[in-house]
Homo-oligomer: A and B are copies of this chain.
Amino acid sequence: MAKIKEECGVFGIYDLDGENVATSIYYGLTALQHRGQEACGIAVSDTNGPIGNVKFHKDLGLVSEVLRENTIRQMDGDIGIGHVRYSTTGASVAENAQPLVLSYVKGSLALAHNGNLVNTPELKWELIQSGAVFHTTTDSEVIAFYIARERVGSKSVEEAVMKTAKKIKGAYGLVVMSPRKLIGVRDPYGLRPLCLGKRGNAYVLASESCALTSVGADFIRDIKPGEMVSISREGVKSQMIFENKKHAHCVFEYIYFARLDSTIDGVSVYDARIRGGKSLAKSYPVEADLVTGVPESGLIPAKGYSEESGIPFGLAFYKNSYIGRTFIKPTQKERESSVHLKLSVLKSVVQGKRIVLVDDSIVRGTTIANLITMLKEAGAKEVHVRISSPPFLHPCYFGTDVPSNDQLIAAKHSTEEICKMIGADSLGYMESEYLEGMAGGLPICKACFDGNYPMEIPEHTVSMEYEIHKI
């Protein structure tokens, strides 16, 4: 199967008071929906019931489409996990929806995974050579298989998870539900986020703090890179699997992925974006009448640019929020007459103005070019584009969807060329050296910009994947 690089979100909760957790998972996943719109799912268990019983539901679609009231109301259980999955281009595969729910030697095992492994082919080959069978093409099934195999000779599921973590390489924020325990693990680099919260006697694990807020839980702390936490009747136990000194938090969480109101590894996403906009204003000042952003991701760096430059901040676009996954694309013929479907310009805001237009990144350049045309048609005198990240130049192996080089405009053209191609009056990308500052001084992974990967990227081995499609 075509390997899809994914950005996902995970959520887990264990209510020691025995209250049902399904609705909380539903709210948590809704708060994490921006991390994945392709598929989602939920699995719950009752720790007071017979060992190994699990109810789950998962499918392609948004949380609000897949998880309806009558489904959620049937899901009794005081422990559970959930997952949202990114909508990438290409065919979506229902079988790959998570959580993965299996039975193994100790009962049932459920698993939700955000991230991407870089040694899946080797791991899978090893398993398959010993006679394993696979139902999906997810990294998660490989991880689950190792946990099950390691569980046989281990004293606890935690020990099995630890042994597995030492085998897998790559980026992960992982939540695991065994019959009586909720476990969270984060990769040794801290590439993918994971945090811990508490509401009454319920413990919550989530990819982002905004999901804690959504269920009324207080933020306790981020799971450390290389840390495993295990939540059981005895409360929370922590264990460092890796004492890695070299952390590398994905900087793109701050630039684009994470939600504005989340705080990740101690750094507020909102503040980071404001700082990004300010550094842009320092690097690429320009005389202008208005700073605005491409909704939604460009708005906050635009605000930062405004604060630094003193040029007023305003909203120049109306965004139609009713254009969703099933929106009927215009045919080639209809295209010209329908550029204004998703975004339209507020004429009175831009007419006669020199405008600074901020966005978080440029991939192919077509969207920004359209917006510049729209602004100019609406009467903008100048449009100066500022991008709150450096140009994409390298693929990502750690769970994001940065496309291959030939689809990246920056890999083929100079900034001057791009500026001309998109019709801007000037163009400035954030300098790579400002990224650490933007991320509040955290050690970051910015390999997609500079090619400096925090770990070895294995050359491609022969793929073990077959095209098995449910139609």
Contact = CB atoms under 8 A, between A and B. Distances in A.
Contact of A72 (B103, B145, B328): B328
B131 A270 contact: no
A30 B65 contact: no
Nearest to A325: B64
Nearest to A335: B216
Interface in A439-471: 464-471
Contacts of A300: 315
A105 B129 contact: yes
Interface in A292-349: 299-300, 303, 313-315, 318, 320-324, 326-328, 330-331, 334, 336-341, 344-349
A55 interface: yes
- Copies of this chain, whole number: 4
Contacts of A57: 470-471
A425 interface: no
A71 B326 CA distance: 13
Given A57-B471, A348-B271, A466-B107, A214 B341 contact: yes
A131 B108 contact: no
B322 A63 contact: yes
B326 A65 contact: yes
Shortest 7 CB-CB distances between A and B: which pairs? A216-B337, A131-B149, A52-B466, A53-B467, A33-B322, A102-B133, A261-B318
Interface of A: 23-24, 26-27, 30-31, 33-34, 50-57, 62-65, 67-69, 71-72, 74-75, 101-105, 107-109, 128-135, 137, 144-145, 148-152, 199, 210, 213-217, 259-261, 268, 270-271, 274, 299-300, 303, 313-315, 318, 320-324, 326-328, 330-331, 334, 336-341, 344-349, 464-471
